[in-house]
Amino acid sequence: MTSFGISDIAIYLPGPTVDLSELIVRRTEEGCCAERLLRAQDFTGQREMRIPDWYEDTVTMVAEATSLLLQRPGAPSPGRIRHFYCGTETAQDAAKPVAAYAQDLIRVGGEQIGPHAATYEVKHACASGTYALLGALQAIAVERMAGRTSVAIAAMGDIASYLSGTTAELTQGAGAISLLVEANPRLLNIDLGLTGIWGENVDDFFRAVGNRHASVRGRFSVECYLKALSRAYLDYKQQALTTGVVERPPGGHFLDAIDYAVLHAPFQSMPVQAMQDLLMRARGISRDQAQEELDRLRLTSSLDLISRTGNLYTGSLYLCLADLLTTEYARIGEDLVGKRILLASYGSGNTMLVFGGTVAAGAGEIIQNMQLAKSVAANRRLVTLDEYEELNGMDKFAADEYAWHLRERGSTIPSGACCLTGIREDGYRVYKRRN
């Protein structure tokens, strides 16, 4: 029987890294309340965050992640990619998708994603990447039914940016994830057509057109996350039991059939709070008992990296998935195959998607080739707070300002890097790979 899912995951993180403890000291010197910022850091669990370099944006990061993906052992040639979908809430163009811009930059072995590939962009806050993934899965499944075989990529890239001096500033981050999607996947079989959904129009988080920084009502947004998770989970559970895809263990609870849980993580502590709340509601258990269940579901095994990268928005869930798979393969090896994973993808504004699948046979080789620790450390460099302020304050939509940076800094772009090489007077963005 043909299955569909994820065959590989590639991660690109920009190099500039900010130590949040140092940032808190700077903000305190500027008059911010130290107690409030320290309390926020303690609550979120965040230690560092990544920010784009001066020549980077969503397009370049997506192109970097996808290029890494297509260079892996067993990856298809770029010309075989039939669907290239990108989820983002940091679009660079109101009409042209990130995927179309990035398509030009992705060259592996002299070949690029060809003109017969469908490219589009998906937006629903942090759940955008999951919607892109589900769209890619559906596309290749339909083509398979029609007797054709195709390969897809679901990519996601974002830059989380908030006002300086706010507690939200501590939850910034940036990066891109690229997922190889195909039939008979090598990493994760996804239960096609089985997705719990909840959504409603609320203003917990949004970014008005023309605004660089997002607006967020922190406490209300947490409440929305908790509610959406509970409702989408119930929808998923009902579908799973009705279809028989997931069977309740004899004499047990539905969640006993789940081996692992991975949730969207805007910051390290959010998934822990959300899953604990869900377990208490769904199983009618105490907080201590819920903590025991969290330990069984190995939720914290997915959350170390997010504390050191910051919020990747659409990519956060899949960074956590890669973290979990890497950690668990190191712990139990090939026993990881066949384990069932529950995933919950939240997008503020809001929507929640709960879905799942099983670890595919042969996943161990993919996980080892992923070299997650190496990917995360690849170009990491701690920046001074002055450099952070400069990078964070750059307007990468102002043609004149960006032209000045190109003149002054062009020689510092690493060889082979995907970069924004100009903004025309009409606002069109020009990209290329540095020779």
What gap in Å lies between CA 279 and CA 294, rounded to an integer? Answer: 8
- Residue 10 confidence (pLDDT): 98
Q: Are 160 and 214 in contact (CB under 8 A)?
A: yes
Contact yes or no for 200/158 (Cβ under 8 A): no
| Share above pLDDT 70 across residues of the chain, in percent, rounded to a whole number | 100
The per-residue pLDDT for 124 is 96
* pLDDT higher than 90, residue 211: no
On whether both 368 and 415 belong to a single domain, the answer is no
Task: Based on the fold, state whether residues 295 and 409 are members of the same structural domain.
Answer: no
The closest alpha carbon to 56, from 119, 9, 102, belongs to 102
Residue 402 binned pLDDT confidence (cut-offs 50, 70, 90) = very high
Q: How many CB atoms lie within 10 A of CB 42?
A: 10
What's residue 1's pLDDT?
Answer: 79
Check whether residue 425 and residue 373 sit in a common domain: no
Q: Residue 209 pLDDT more than 90?
A: no
For the segment 285-332, what is each residue's pLDDT rounded down to a tens digit? Answer: 999 999 999 999 999 999 999 999 999 999 999 999 999 999 999 999
pLDDT over 90 (residue 38)? yes
pLDDT at residue 188 tops 90: yes
Instruction: Using the predicted structure, report yes or no on whether residue 109 has a pLDDT greater than 90.
Output: no
Question: Are 237 and 194 a contacting pair, CB within 8 Å?
Answer: no
**Separation of alpha carbons 382 and 18, rounded Å:** 6
Q: Backbone phi, then psi, for 364, in 5-degree steps?
A: -55, -45
Nearest to 58 by CA among 8, 110, 14: 14
pLDDT at residue number 218: 83
Phi, psi values for residue 26, rounded to 5°:
-60, -45
Identify the pLDDT of residue 263: 98
* Structure token pair of residue 98: 């990130």
Give the pair of three-digit tokens for residue 260.
């692992």
Mean pLDDT across the chain, nearest whole number? 95
Residue 20 has a pLDDT of 97
Is pLDDT above 90 for 192? yes
Across residues 2-25, what is the average pLDDT? 97
Percent of the chain with pLDDT over 90: 91
Q: What are phi and psi of 146, to 5 degrees?
A: -85, 5
Strand partners, 352: 198, 346
Burial group, residue 294, by CB count within 10 angstroms (0-12, 13-18, 19+): middle
What is the arithmetic mean of pLDDT over 84-98?
96
Tokens of 56: 């980077």
- Check whether residue 66 and residue 105 sit in a common domain: yes
Do 358 and 422 share a domain, yes or no? no
Do 378 and 401 have their domain in common? no
Q: Which domain holds residue 350?
A: 4-389
423 shares its domain with 377: no
Shared domain check, 123 and 54: yes
What pLDDT does residue 213 have? Answer: 84
- 369 and 420: one domain? no
Q: Tell me if 341 sits within 8 A of 360, measured CB to CB.
A: no
| Domain identity same for 421 and 312 | no
- HEC string of the chain equals CCCEEEEEEEEECCCEEEEHHHHHHHHHHCCCCHHHHHHHHHHHCCCEEECCCCCCCHHHHHHHHHHHHHCCCCCCCHHHEEEEEEECCCCCCCCCCHHHHHHCCCEECCEECCCCCEEEEECECECHHHHHHHHHHHHHHHHHHCCCCCEEEEEEEEEECCCCCCHHHHHCEEEEEEEEEEECCCCEEECCCCCEEEECCCCCEECCCCCCCCEECHHHHHHHHHHHHHHHHHHHHHHHHHHCCCCCCCCCCHHHHCCEEEECCCCCHHHHHHHHHHHHHHHCCCHHHHHHHHHHCCHHHHCHHHHHHECCHHHHHHHHHHHHHHHHHHHHHHHHCCCEEEEEEEECCCEEEEEEEEECCCHHHHHHHHCHHHHHHCCCEECCHHHHHHHHHCCCCCHHHHHHHHHHHHHHCCCCCEEEEEECCCCCEEEEECC
Same domain (yes/no): 34, 19: yes
CATH code where residue 205 lies: 3.40.47.10
Question: What's the pLDDT at 217?
Answer: 87
Say whether pTM exceeds 0.75: yes
Amino acid at 414: P
pLDDT digits (tens, 9 = 90+) for 111-144: 999 999 999 999 999 999 999 999 999 999 999 9
pLDDT tens by residue, 134-171: 999 999 999 998 999 999 999 999 999 999 999 999 99
Domain count, the chain: 2
359 and 426 belong to one structural domain: no
